Amino acid sequence: MSKPSIAEVLPRGTLQRFGIAGGFNTFFFWVIWELLRISPLYAESNETLFWSISWVCSSFVAHFVHRVFTFDGRRNIKKTALGALSVYAVGMMGSTLTFDGMLVLLDDVPIRLLFLANIAVWGLFTWASMRWFVFGYTKMEEE
């Protein structure tokens, strides 16, 4: 009896596969964010700006990670890059606004917990948008 392939255990386009790739992308995002927070720029700027910068940097990497690992390359890269840019732009605006709002409303909650909560919510938005609008998965059978 042979071992099942990764495609059989985790079909392309699924939330589980997105979560694995998203874990890598989130780690990359977190490293950039933490480096900015410990940099000398911290005293001259704010958390929201660092959040936005980290989002942009990790979004560029995320498109290619999701293209190779999470979804597939069946769609033209120009179309997926443009679609991903749109999704990540909306996600950046929304996540930045919610992160900024959480900083004000939930100022007694540890900032890294706010980070995780915000990433989780906007990760679901990104997965759904990338799956259906960018990479064109419309039915579960296509996985």
Task: Give residue 143's pLDDT.
Answer: 42
**Model-wide pTM > 0.85:** no
Per-residue pLDDT of the chain (143 residues; tens, 9 = 90+): 678 777 777 788 888 888 899 899 999 999 999 999 998 888 888 888 898 899 889 988 998 888 888 887 778 888 888 999 999 999 999 999 999 999 999 999 999 999 999 999 998 999 889 888 888 775 544 44
Task: Give residue 77's pLDDT.
Answer: 86
Are 30 and 59 within 8 A, CB to CB?
Answer: no
Tokens standing for residue 41: 């720029």
CB atoms within 10 A of CB 33: 20
Task: Report the distance separating Cα 66 and Cα 21, nearest Å.
Answer: 7
Residue matched to tokens 């009896």: 1
